[in-house]
Amino acid sequence: MATGWLGWTPEVALGTPIPQIELALEGRIEWVRKTNPWGSGDPAPAPPVSERLKAALRARAAR
């Protein structure tokens, strides 16, 4: 997620704690939602997709 959605280099992604990656991912999702030219831009509860992504990151970190 960090190298794809966030565009970070592998070195930065591997050196960043999981909670910080989660915060950055939430910020990215919020930015995309607010700058969507086809949407209302109103803040809404986090979509289920972001919750699944965070759960996947946590599960991967627990390995």
For residues 44 and 33, is the Cβ–Cβ distance under 8 A?
yes
DSSP three-state, residue 36: coil
Cβ-in-10-Å burial (0-12, 13-18, 19+) of 2 comes to buried
Query: What contacts 41, CB < 8 A, 6 or more positions away?
Result: 33, 34, 35
Quote the distance between the C-alpha of residue 42 and its chain's center.
19
Q: pLDDT band at 1, cuts 50/70/90? A: confident
Q: According to the model, what pLDDT value does residue 62 have?
A: 82
Q: According to the model, what pLDDT value does residue 43 have?
A: 60
39-62 per-position pLDDT tens digit: 665 666 656 666 777 777 788 888
